[in-house]
């Protein structure tokens, strides 16, 4: 691990920050990517004091050229773990929500994640192995989410893409792992950006990441770090999908009404 890097996008807060801390504790060198350089610098300084080599990469990864610039930064570095975490959400009546924010969400949550997934997996395949974890959401395992329509759609894309690629890699006998982390509510800055309040208590980012890393090492393809959320998504498979969407919509609407 001391000779390989863990790359974390969206590393300036929340789940991404916790991944950085946990992977540093496991002995990885780090590449920390996010828009907010000041937060990355503070995290890198803290981890460096504990002996972790950190590379700070400030970038807006919703832009394709910045994704390629990140891959250029990685260059010949051996990447043992890549946490594809950068993303955000929004909540509201679809006819009222801001289209520019939604298109930016699609750029980051879908297009950039897709591009980085392809580029990183090619790199890992060439180097003979590695772990890539796409951060999706339990929202990506449902039929749809009224009042968070675009966010649910982006995370459905991530979950679907990841499961398909995982099977392709297994068919090929590849040593490269790809999985999708699909958490329910997590106590992060997500709410503030998405203009929502969770209708249930969220788990801590630390607990979410601990579970994710353990399941990643077991090469679990879809990782849902909460028994209640696992139960809900499993039960959803047996409920008529139009009913499931109505139930989900009722839950999302309550968030806006809080």
The two structure tokens encoding residue 129: 């192995």
Are 38 and 63 in contact by the 8 Å Cβ rule? The answer is no
Sequence-distant (6+) residues with CB within 8 A of 168 are: none
pLDDT band at 118 (very low <50, low <70, confident <90, very high): very high
Does residue 151 have an active-site annotation? yes
Averaged confidence pLDDT in the chain: 89
pLDDT 10s digits, 5-64: 999 999 999 999 999 999 999 999 999 999 999 999 999 999 999 999 999 999 999 999
What confidence score (pLDDT) does residue 154 get?
97
In the predicted model, is pLDDT for residue 219 greater than 50? yes
pLDDT 10s digits, 164-186: 999 999 999 999 999 999 999 88
What confidence score (pLDDT) does residue 82 get?
98
In the predicted model, is pLDDT for residue 243 greater than 70? no
Q: Give me the mean pLDDT over the 221-246 stretch.
A: 72
| Number of Cα atoms under 13 Å in the Cβ half of residue 29 | 12
What confidence score (pLDDT) does residue 1 get?
54
Q: Which of 28, 151, 152, 177 is catalytic?
A: 151
Sequence-distant (6+) residues with CB within 8 A of 185 are: 198, 200, 201, 202, 203
Q: Give me the mean pLDDT over the 87-108 stretch.
A: 96
Q: Give me the mean pLDDT over the 193-208 stretch.
A: 69
């Amino acid at each position: 691990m001391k000779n390989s890097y863990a790359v974390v996008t969206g590393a300036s807060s929340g789940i991404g920050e916790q991944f950085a801390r946990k992977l540093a504790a496991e002995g990885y060198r780090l590449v920390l990517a996010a828009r907010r350089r000041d937060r990355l610098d503070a995290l890198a300084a803290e981890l460096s004091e504990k002996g972790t080599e950190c590379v700070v990469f400030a970038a807006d990864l919703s832009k394709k050229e910045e994704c390629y610039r990140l891959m250029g930064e990685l260059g010949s570095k051996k990447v043992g773990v890549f946490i594809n975490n950068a993303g955000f959400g929004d909540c509201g009546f679809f006819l009222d929500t801001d289209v520019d924010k939604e298109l930016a969400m699609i750029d980051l949550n879908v297009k950039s994640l897709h591009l980085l997934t392809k580029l990183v997996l090619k790199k890992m395949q060439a180097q003979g192995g590695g772990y890539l974890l796409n951060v999706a959401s339990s929202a990506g395992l449902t039929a749809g989410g009224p009042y968070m329509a675009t966010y649910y759609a982006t995370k459905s894309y991530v979950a679907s893409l990841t499961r398909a690629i995982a099977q392709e890699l297994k068919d090929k006998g590849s040593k490269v792992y790809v999985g999708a982390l699909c958490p329910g509510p997590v106590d992060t800055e997500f709410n503030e950006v998405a203009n929502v309040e969770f209708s249930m208590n969220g788990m801590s980012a630390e607990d979410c990441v601990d579970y994710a890393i353990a399941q990643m090492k077991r090469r679990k393809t879809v990782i849902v770090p909460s028994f209640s959320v696992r139960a809900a998504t499993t039960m959803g498979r047996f409920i008529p999908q139009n009913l499931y969407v109505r139930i989900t919509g009722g839950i999302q609407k309550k968030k806006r009404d809080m």
